Amino acid sequence: AAGVIQSPRHLIKEKRETATLKCYPIPRHDTVYWYQQGPGQDPQFLISFYEKMQSDKGSIPDRFSAQQFSDYHSELNMSSLELGDSALYFCASSTVLYNEQFFGPGTRLTVL
Amino acid sequence: SQQGEEDPQALSIQEGENATMNCSYKTSINNLQWYRQNSGRGLVHLILIRSNEREKHSGRLRVTLDTSKKSSSLLITASRAADTASYFCATDPLNNNAGNMLTFGGGTRLMVKP
């Protein structure tokens, strides 16, 4: 069965650079979520989209923005990167009627 | 504030033994989901239990939910070395919003010794 696809899997950036993470949800899933997991931490919710509209917002810094496109894929844009942004970034998808979230493999971002 | 809290934080058992992990939460929920994560890897969805369900099984997994106590447990029977991972509970809050965030607990690190 198709799963959530995230790209890239690994990303290394310098401080103050920008990064764009991509997420392709499971087919027919209409809702996408972004989570951040720091080393040794539990995942923290950043933001979610349903039918291309932002539906919920968590602890997402103002330096980050995200959107969902007409094909339901989503991109997380991160600017002015800081050392503390180094983390695993997960995307998850679900259908709105049944909020069973399936996670992608994650993107490991390292900021040097 | 942290919604889900898990105990124990770490658990070490021998292969073949059963492992029980507990999760407590604070607010009303639609459902509670359990995930497994190998070190530095993705979150694998294990099981979802709805607020009107009390027990659910999937293979060697058994999940219970007590909404009156706002707690859930995950039991892994006949554990295997391959079950070594961190296990998280995550709650889906009770509201009518689309795209509900999940709130994760701190996770239980399970080590199964061969």
Look at residues A12, A19, A69, A74 and name the one whose alpha carbon lies nearest to residue A48.
A74
B31–A108 C-beta distance less than 8 A: no
Mean pLDDT of A39-49: 91
Q: Are B45 and A100 inside 8 Å of each other by CB?
A: yes
Q: Looking at A13-27, A77-91, B5-19, B91-105, which range is the least confident one? A: B91-105
pLDDT at B93: 85
Average of pLDDT values for A68-90?
A: 96
Q: Do A56 and B92 touch (CB under 8 A)?
A: no
The residues in A 6-35 lying below 8 A from B, measured between CB atoms, are 31, 33
At B94, the pLDDT band (50, 70, 90 cuts) reads: confident
Distance from chain centroid for Cα B42: 15
Interface test with B, best of A33, A74, A89, A99 (most B CBs within 10 A): A99
Task: Report how far residue A15's alpha carbon sits from residue A109's, in angstroms, rounded to the nearest whole number.
Answer: 12
Residue in B40, B45, B100 nearest the CB of A103: B45
Per-residue pLDDT band at B106 (split at 50, 70, 90): confident
Inter-chain CB proximity B42 and A103 less than 8 Å: yes
3-state secondary structure of A89: strand
Encode pLDDT of B33-53 as tens digits: 999 999 878 899 999 999 999
Give the model's pLDDT for residue A95: 86
> Does residue B96 have a pLDDT over 60?
no
Tabulate helix, strand, coil % of chain A (nearest 5): 5, 55, 40
